Amino acid sequence: MRINLLIIIYCLIVVMSVMYATQPLQPLLAKEFNITVIQASWFTAVILLFMAISPIIYGYTLEKMCAKKMLINASFILLITNICLGLSTNYEMFLFFRVCEALVVPAILTSLMSILANIDKENVKFNMSIYVAATVFGGLVGRIFSGFIATTFSYEYVFYSLSLAILVSITLIKKLDYNGDATIIKPKINDVINILQDKRFVIIYFVMFCIFFVFAGVLNVLPFRVKDISEHFSEFQISLLYLGYGMGILVSLTSKKIIKFFKNEINTILVACGFFIFVTIFLTNNDIIYLFLLLFLFCIGMFTAPTVSTLLANSMKSSQKSLTSGMYLTFYYLGGAMGSFLPTIIYKNFGWDFMIYLFALILVVVEVVVFINKKLF
């Protein structure tokens, strides 16, 4: 069982690395392909967009499919697309293969989660916490790894290196001791409407959308902000600013203790949002060292609110647990997709400071909405 868990953790780290590898490289890719910050933002936004709509795509196109088979097939496509990304010579070609990746990444994550949930049913909660920690760690590793490789060699080698890592994961997947089907949710319109009639779920989905919108906006525009401060910063130095992202691992593993400290989930969300607002305002600072330290605090605030919101949603009575969780992820990633794209337009036209103050205003609205409706929970 432990070997299976280690294989799944490795595969998660690799696929999350692929998801976020382009983020610190966006200024470099914008220069390489002679494109705007808005066009470059799509390299990350497109994957988050498909993460949001994947329950619909897979729910209505796939019935039953062996999780292991789906995982191998999707990983093989990811291997090919990564090689093609390294060989791409223009923006259109690069974006096309990034879209291809966006189509298969949700399939890989769905398969891994299905296998992890069924391979050791006695330790499902522990395994799911490991799943969350591995996805956060993968997002961190992917950013730092890509920045280091791009600075030391060139950006093409980022994708060749990831291709090698994917090849290793395909070899390991074949050793997985599991042959069950992937858990695919087929959403029904009436069920979705029924869930959205519960005001508590609407508030949770609203919180998730807004928080990940702000978080994705800051992290996606960050490389361009750093280049504005000084052109001399390398891709590796930019990637080190994402070290704060690792706070997500700490938060996910200590969330129950955090909730206990603040008495309940709603109080914790209110405190996390308040902290998030406070830190966000200070991101207007031009000092790169301050920015580096602030991003650690920024990530603590961000990861606390959605982690606790997940626990709150799971504790609420619902006959459609799988669907409520699926909708939660849809709103979460939809916020991330829009946050990876729309803020770049604001940044390009009005600048970093205006964008940050707008983000703070959005978070204030979230804080007010949660506070007004706290008695519902």
pLDDT tens digits, residue range 2-41? 888 899 999 999 999 999 999 999 999 999 999 999 999 9
The 3-state DSSP class for residue 11 equals: helix
Residues 179 and 265 in one domain: no
Which residue range(s) make up the domain with 208? 188-377
The torsion angles phi and psi of 66, rounded to 5 degrees, stand at -60, 125
Residues 180 and 201 in one domain: no
Residues 63 and 203 in one domain: no
Residues 173 and 194 in one domain: no
Tell whether the model's pLDDT for residue 180 goes beyond 90.
Answer: no
Q: Output the DSSP codes for 288-340.
A: HHHHHHHHHHHHHHHHHHHHHHHHHHHHS--S-HHHHHHHHHHHHHHHHHHHH
**What value, to the nearest 5°, has the Cα angle with vertex 345 and ends 298 and 334?**
60
Q: How far apart (Å, rounded) are the C-alpha atoms in residues 119 and 178?
A: 7
Q: What is the rounded average pLDDT of the residues 251-268? A: 88
Are the beta carbons of 339 and 216 closer than 8 angstroms? yes
Where b means 16+ CB within 10 Å and e means fewer, 84-114 reads bbbebeebeebbebbbbbbbbbbbbbbbbbb
The 3-state DSSP class for residue 37 equals: helix
Alpha helices (runs of H) in the chain, residue ranges in sequence order = 2-20, 26-33, 37-61, 67-87, 91-119, 124-152, 155-173, 189-196, 199-229, 235-240, 247-261, 265-281, 288-315, 321-350, 352-372
pLDDT in tens, 82-102: 999 999 999 999 999 999 999
Q: What is the pLDDT of residue 343?
A: 97
Q: What is the pLDDT of residue 196?
A: 86
The 3-state DSSP class for residue 281 equals: helix
Q: What percentage of the chain exceeds 90 in pLDDT? A: 65
Structure tokens at 70: 């789906």
Residues 195 and 332 in one domain: yes
Residues 266 and 155 in one domain: no
Domain closes at, from 124, 155, 186? 186
Residues 142 and 211 in one domain: no
Of the candidates 303, 249, 330, 284, the one whose C-alpha atom is nearest the C-alpha of residue 58 is 330
Tell whether the model's pLDDT for residue 132 goes beyond 70.
Answer: yes
Are the beta carbons of 336 and 218 closer than 8 angstroms? no
Q: What is the rounded average pLDDT of the residues 289-302? A: 93
* Residue 10 Cα to chain centre, angstroms: 17
Cβ within 8 Å of residue 132, ≥6 positions away: 248, 252, 307
Q: What is the pLDDT of residue 60?
A: 55
Residues 241 and 310 in one domain: yes
Q: How far apart (Å, rounded) are the C-alpha atoms in residues 181 and 78?
A: 21
Q: What is the pLDDT of residue 128?
A: 76
Domain count, the chain: 2
Tell whether the model's pLDDT for residue 61 goes beyond 60.
Answer: no
The torsion angles phi and psi of 181, rounded to 5 degrees, stand at -80, 155
Are the beta carbons of 155 and 239 closer than 8 angstroms? no
Tell whether the model's pLDDT for residue 57 goes beyond 80.
Answer: no
Q: What is the pLDDT of residue 53?
A: 86
Domain closes at, from 156, 186, 216? 186
Residue 41, domain CATH: 1.20.1250.20
Residues 223 and 370 in one domain: yes
More confident residue, 356 or 328: 356
Residues 265 and 136 in one domain: no
The model's confidence at residue 276, banded by pLDDT at 50, 70 and 90, is: very high
